[in-house]
Homo-oligomer: A and B are copies of this chain.
Amino acid sequence: MAWELKSDRPIYTQLQDYIKLGIISGRYLPGDKLPSVRDLAEEAAVNPNTMQKALAELERLGMVYTQRTSGRFITEDIKMIEDLKESIAKEHITEFFETMKKIGFSIQETIQMIEKEAKELTI
């Protein structure tokens, strides 16, 4: 994983985003066991407390759950994962449309360009 952390946003929210991405992209599968907080923290080069905070938040959201003594696991609620995937995608889509609008393209023009670009990418 990348673990590229920027300084203009709280670290723990970025950690959350990376883990969420791991879940929705299928790298972490439903029911899988997550690495330990300590291992994840080391991997991301952050303080374990920061990673702990990120995971606690994800747990509050129901994305992961803890089994005492045996570790943290990815939720098995597939619908929740699908919903998260969709909502994150929508965020990026909205942001993308806004960027294109700033450049000077309407939604229609953006659609046209993206379809054209898609054809070139899938040749």
- 82-123 of chain A: CB within 8 A of chain B: 85, 88-90, 92-94, 96-97, 99-100, 102-105, 107-108, 110-111, 113-115, 117-118, 121-122
Q: Is A7 an interface residue (CB 8 A)?
A: yes
How many residues on chain A are close to B (CB under 8 Å)?
34
Query: With A99-B92, A113-B89, A118-B111 as given contacts, are A104 and B8 in contact (CB-CB < 8 Å)?
Result: no
28 contacts between A and B (CB under 8 A): A6-B6, A6-B8, A8-B8, A21-B102, A21-B103, A25-B102, A25-B103, A26-B104, A85-B103, A88-B103, A89-B105, A89-B113, A90-B113, A90-B117, A92-B99, A92-B100, A92-B103, A93-B117, A96-B96, A96-B114, A97-B121, A107-B118, A107-B121, A107-B122, A108-B118, A108-B122, A111-B115, A111-B118
